[in-house]
Structure 1
Amino acid sequence: MKSLTLFKRAVGVVVLMMVAVLFAGCSNGKAASKKVVHISYWHVNAQTQGGASVETLVKKFNKTHKYIKVNAKYNPNMYQGLMQNLQSAQASGKVPDIVQVGWAYMNYFSSNFKYLTPTDAQSKFDSSKTFISKNFSTRTLSFAKDSKGKLVGLPYSLSTPILYYNKTMLDKYGIKASSLATWEGVSAAAKKIKEESGNYGLYIQEPADTWAQQALQLSNGAKIKKNGKAVFASSAGVKAYEFYQDMVVKDKTALHTPWAQGIDDFVNGKVAIAYTTVAQASHIKQSSNFDVEAITSPHFKGHKATVPVGGSMLAITSQDTEKQKAAWTFEKYLYKNSSLVTWSKGTGYLPPTQGALSSKAFKSYLSSNPMLKPAASQIKTAVAWTSFPKNGLQAEQTMIDARDKILSGSNVQETLKNAQEKINEQQK
């Protein structure tokens, strides 16, 4: 009996050891499956346009998501710079996992890069399959659909150009904000500022895109693209650019300089009026030591103000399933109401989701930051930013080159016509 008892005890010990090994194996397997997934996020947000907010959001995400770590990389030269870098990355086979794509390059991105559509990401990684429809309006999603109607990414930042003005300076010279509703009124105000103070009256943003200049042409009744072809060299388009050129070259009441310098000159009181994105609102408010206000985009007499929607979408470019899932998780975090309000506060961009727009936190922020209100009122009628599917980088650069030639004194009609023909040839 004693030997039987000892045998049973021995068997029991062996069984316990086997169970322990089994559980240890399961535990190690579980731990192995919980390895940290590292993903890269490429964005275009300099410190003056939301860079600090990107850092805040990424740090918070990394802190609250143990098994996903995001590395954010800033790409200079705005959306054009990012697309050029993405081109090189794709050629080398080392693409980032999630990228911020400007609306001007949406069709080009769709036609030339590998990506996972939001619809497919939702289908693969979301059990409810309703994230997109619950958060985005049909109109907002339309900005992220290519020429074939396919949803390429999710709208992230929405903006419109607005007119900021140095109220302190305008009051000093008896200029009323109501006179700035038309471009003719802006020109008259700029001329008075130049004559009486020696300062420039106006600066229209000049980054590596022609978004603001397109708004100028659209607000004179011109079109940028029609039936897939560039048509900005029309009579209305030429007249808008001639008006702009006269202010810069002939009257010297408007400043022609790179974007960062132009905004610096405005916040330092060297320029009275700045026409730029609402995404500069936070930077302008924090950096100006004068009373600054903003109004909606001007129009030319006889026409209505028409502005292209600015900003970007987020697209998943990873080709690895685990990283795609991690990128989708990160995207969903960025679209939380609290994340979008943080993003808006740090930039001035308007939230792209219905929930964030109607949230108490954003309404409170909007109430205390009236410079965002003009952009919010314009977003409802904004048109899509012109995007060419073929040779998109070259098309945008052609328009940038035309702008710079015109602002240096070239013949407007000839310059725009040559640019239009070049772009249309590239689309064949």
Structure 2
Amino acid sequence: MLKHVLLSAAMTLAVLPAAAQTEIVIQYPYGELFNTTHEQIREAFEKTNPDIKVTFRAPYESYEEGTQKVLREAITGQMPDITFQGLNRVRIFVDRGIAQPLDGFIAADPELETDGFHKAMYDIGTQNGQVYALPFAISLPIMYVNLDLVRAAGADPELLPTTWAEVIDLARKIKSVGDDINGVTYAWDITGNWLWQAPVFARGGTMLSEDESKVAFDGEAGRFAINMIAGLVTEAGMPNLTQPDMRSAFAAGKTGLHFTSTSDLAKVTSMVDGKFDLKTFTFPDVVPGTGRLPAGGNVGIILTKDAEKQKAAWEVMKFWHGAEGAAIMARTTGYMPPNKKANDVYLKDFYTDNPNNYTAVSQVALLTKWYAFPRENGLKITDVIKDHLNSIITGARAQEPDAVLADMTADVQKLLPRK
């Protein structure tokens, strides 16, 4: 009798449907930097959240492509549930009514502070007084240094340049080491004019006036920045290379100083593979007190309007941006996590063992928002600035940086919304 009861119970269990899973679709940028990161976080998440299935779409090629894709998908109703976008892209999704506010989830979750969430994290994704995004991977501009070439140039590797004048002087010396050696490269065309904003903000400048009606980068800070970039070309002999070619040349030991994002650190370190003594160093000429550096990197934004999916998406966001997810991100990339518990607990020994990763963390007090130009011409303005900077990098107008700045100012001013 007992045998028949057990058999009947087993058969009943066998036909019961499996617990329903909620699928959350995620899309993120730059697969070469983040594929491993997101895969590892998903694996960790699904161990403790069997009721939520995370699916990835093919990565966006860039922040620009990701923004345009979501804007198109918002019309056709084909958006992912969660999108990862550049920090300077939050504004456009809020203005278009696409991003979903997170304030209700944050207010209802008392454990967030314990897991390392804090006000500064929320501030980065705040627009119009509400939180619409959580920062995932934060980067800052830094200097990558080939110490072997510094020594070959007769310079002291313990006294690395802290001003742009010193950078140009050292770059000239490094360039003289060999015909196939570059003194310096500067990833000026990083998405969103990031390395144009950096030297302007570092000198205490801004992109626009406070009411966003007038260009403000044409002041002292902007003149300093544009003349610095021109000096890299005219005085230090900087070559006109694509970002991948800059990275490859540096990793091959052919460039002394390379300025780009901390996001490249894991990839560059792997490519260098011990061929030379690699060191990272802080961004030059940040004015004490007023100087800032734009926080690069990306944020997570919930797009789905379905209430049940939003609950599941919030659980995903909490894990991805929480201490465990943030620590995985830091170990697999060169970015730094904004999560406090990840830095203070999970990564305490990591920074001791990997001082090159700590360079960005040492600049965290300088963080400011990566600026997004307003309204419908915002993306077009970034392209206009890029085109003007390109005229300097190619050498076509490298000898007249002040005139380039004047033309850039006039062209951007025409695209600003009229009050």
Give the TM-score normalised by structure 2.
Answer: 0.86
Which position in structure 1 is the counterpart of 2:183?
201
- Per-residue deviation, 1:132: 6.0
- CA distance in 1 between partners of 2:156 and 2:211 (Å): 41
- Per-residue deviation, 1:396: 2.2
3-state SS of the aligned residue for 2:27?
strand
- Per-residue deviation, 1:208: 2.5
Say if 2:138 is the partner of 1:152: no
Which position in structure 2 is the counterpart of 1:318?
304
Which position in structure 1 is the counterpart of 2:169?
188
Q: 2:293 aligns with which of 288, 307, 314?
A: 307
- Per-residue deviation, 1:369: 0.6
3-state SS of the aligned residue for 1:380?
helix
1:239 partner letter:
F
1:402 partner letter:
H
Q: 1:136 aligns with which of 89, 114, 117?
A: 117
After the TM superposition, list the runs of 4 or more consecutive aligned residues in structure 1 that deviate by more than 4 angstroms.
300-305
Say if 2:395 is the partner of 1:413: no
3-state SS of the aligned residue for 2:276?
coil
- Per-residue deviation, 1:97: 0.7
- In structure 2, relative to structure 1, the CA distance for the partners of 1:67 and 1:301 (3 Å cut) is closer
C-alpha offsets along residues 221-251 of structure 1, whole Å, 9 cap, x if unaligned?
4322331433112243123212212322x24
- CA distance in 2 between partners of 1:420 and 1:68 (Å): 49
Alignment of 1:254-273 (within 5 A): 254-273=238-257
Which position in structure 2 is the counterpart of 1:278?
262
3-state SS of the aligned residue for 1:117?
coil
Does the 8 Å CA contact 1:208/1:400 hold for their aligned counterparts?
Answer: no
1:189 partner letter:
L
- In structure 2, relative to structure 1, the CA distance for the partners of 1:419 and 1:152 (3 Å cut) is farther
Which position in structure 1 is the counterpart of 2:105?
121
3-state SS of the aligned residue for 1:181?
coil
Does the 8 Å CA contact 2:184/2:258 hold for their aligned counterparts?
Answer: yes
Paired positions, count: 398
Q: 1:426 aligns with which of 405, 416, 419?
A: 416
Gaps of 5+ in 2: none
3-state SS of the aligned residue for 1:226?
coil
C-alpha offsets along residues 193-219 of structure 1, whole Å, 9 cap, x if unaligned?
112223111111233332122112233
Does the 8 Å CA contact 1:115/1:316 hold for their aligned counterparts?
Answer: yes
Does the 8 Å CA contact 2:291/2:366 hold for their aligned counterparts?
Answer: no
- CA distance in 1 between partners of 2:211 and 2:238 (Å): 33
Alignment of 1:3-14 (within 5 A): none
- CA distance in 2 between partners of 1:140 and 1:322 (Å): 25
Which position in structure 1 is the counterpart of 2:54?
70
1:96 partner letter:
P
1:150 partner letter:
Q
| Structure holding more helix per residue | 1
- Per-residue deviation, 1:65: 3.3
Alignment of 1:27-426 (within 5 A): 31=17, 34-47=19-32, 49-62=33-46, 64-122=48-106, 128-131=109-112, 135-146=116-127, 148-177=128-157, 178-198=159-179, 199-205=181-187, 206-229=189-212, 230-248=215-233, 250-251=234-235, 253-288=237-272, 289-299=275-285, 306-359=292-345, 361-391=346-376, 392-408=378-394, 409-410=396-397, 411-424=400-413, 425-426=415-416
3-state SS of the aligned residue for 2:25?
strand
- CA distance in 2 between partners of 1:297 and 1:64 (Å): 40
Of 283-292 and 62-71, the range deviating more from structure 2: 62-71
- Per-residue deviation, 1:323: 2.0
Does the 8 Å CA contact 1:55/1:72 hold for their aligned counterparts?
Answer: no
3-state SS of the aligned residue for 2:283?
coil
C-alpha offsets along residues 66-115 of structure 1, whole Å, 9 cap, x if unaligned?
33222223444421221011111112211111011212222222212422
Between structure 1 and structure 2, the one with the greater Rg is 1
1:68 partner letter:
I
Gaps of 5+ in 1: 1-15
3-state SS of the aligned residue for 2:154?
coil
Give the fraction of aligned pairs with identical amino acids, expressed as a percent. 21
1:413 partner letter:
D
RMSD of Structure 2 on Structure 1 (CA) = 2.8
1:204 partner letter:
Y
- CA distance in 2 between partners of 1:155 and 1:302 (Å): 26
- Per-residue deviation, 1:64: 4.6
- CA distance in 1 between partners of 2:240 and 2:289 (Å): 25
